[in-house]
A and B are shown apart, each in its own frame.
Chain A
Amino acid sequence: MRMDEQTRGDFPILSRTVNGHRLVYLDSAASSQKPRAVLEAMAQYYTMSHANVHRSIHTLGEEATELYEAARDRVQRFIGAASREEVVFTRGTTDGINLVAEALGRVLRPGDEILITDMEHHSNIVPWQMAARDRRVRVRSIPLTGDGLLDLEVFERMLSERTKVVAFTHVSNVLGTITPVAQLCRRARAAGAVTVVDGAQAAPHLPLDMSALGCDLYVFSSHKMLGPTGIGVLWGRRAVLDALEPTRGGGEMIKEVWIDRARWNDLPWRFEPGTPPIAEAVGLMAAVEYLEKLGMERVAAHEAALARAAVEQLGAIPGVTVYGPRADVARGAVVAFTVEGLHPHDVAALLDQQGIAVRAGHHCAQPLMRWCGVVGTARASFSVYSSSEEVAVLAHALAALRTRL
């Protein structure tokens, strides 16, 4: 059975109509829809088990704590982390990168360099600029080749003993490019740099194994992988996390507090001050279980087939330009495109009139937009419930679009 046939019934929102048409949701890279299992797990938690975690010595507090920590164990298995201490819950990818950039920034010295790439989301650019500011640390960017891949030769030349951090995306949120994480990390490590990988567009779509990737820190969000908003994951190699000073203080992240000092808590709680997103962790756990049942290898194959079909069908429409690697190169579940003579926002609004939801704009990747030579693009993206019929509906609508404005 096709994956979308297997899953669509689990996503109540997909049966609604938009502007008189059946919803065709092609914006999962911005945020995926949620299966009933996630919605019900969160409702069940709030209905029956809610209390604050960790310090509430009563039944509800214990149930909430068990659920919250069980979510951590589930995520640990899902991403192949060596231990649960390596799994820190954050508010999302952006929050995770900011946490890491702030902590790493504190130990950077004048003359040090942070390498990013030309295809980063703003959330993997701006926190590094902030970390570098006032420290005389330089942020440099690895350029792309003509077909939207990282220029590894230039990367080699940029690496030096000054390089202290290499931060890059696993899957581009615009081009769909899948970066060679293991190779980049190997080279960065040899140069003595810490590697930080933005996995926001990878965790929902690819099987992950932290031990095989070889990076030091990896961040992703729940809401793009069928889970709720408001929670994300920072995975860090034990030794790397151990060496990071917490940058945010509060309850839960300490062992002992005096008026003039405090002693930090153990991993992972050292990086989780305040009441965490408990219901969201429960929802994320349900999402991970859902994805595991489907099997991430199958998920990846399903979405890769859709992306390939979209590149081929959209690319064949006169006036439509598709961005990113060639159709025969593996890519993530996103396809960015423009329609000649139409602004991306107008493309999205016209498609919306037919019930088709796509993203349009700069996708929080303005340096990459400049590389593409456009102000913005439209983007179709896919998840486990997306179907080849939806790709065909989009292609059909796009073919007729230029006459509609």
Chain B
Amino acid sequence: MKREPLLHPVALAAIALLIANDHVLKSRWPGFVTGKLSDVAGMIFFPLFAFVVVRAAGRIARRDFAARGALVACAAVTAIAFALVKTWAPARDAFEMALGAARWPIGAVRALLAGEAPRFARAAIVMDASDLIALPFVLVAIAISPFRVRDDRVDDLRPDARRQLVPHLGDEE
């Protein structure tokens, strides 16, 4: 059976927490706690989300790699990128532009439906070094990973790819 890291209850809770905090809690109870909750939630689920993207890319490219190693790499990249965005203005600017670009299609559709011209708007990210207290939570993503063995391979390659990569696998699935 495929192992889906985003379906882990902790990951689901972190995603729910991000949505609730960004759209309800922050505006109702602004303060230190709600200011950090989204960062903590992101540190937990984003490495798993990034891993799913990397795994999908691996499927398309028919590349085999160690699942746990890939997840650890996703966690490390997430932590480094988060630290840069929160402490280094050029990284923050780049991330704001990237996030604005990711939002653009939705905003463009909304604008067109309203009879207006689509416009690009960058996202708003607050630089705050104290947000780095969320960094250790990236370890939660690794801890709840379903990939326990160091040489565990990505396990949802197409059957033909699996045969190609693991010749002795046969047709039992």
* A and B bind: no
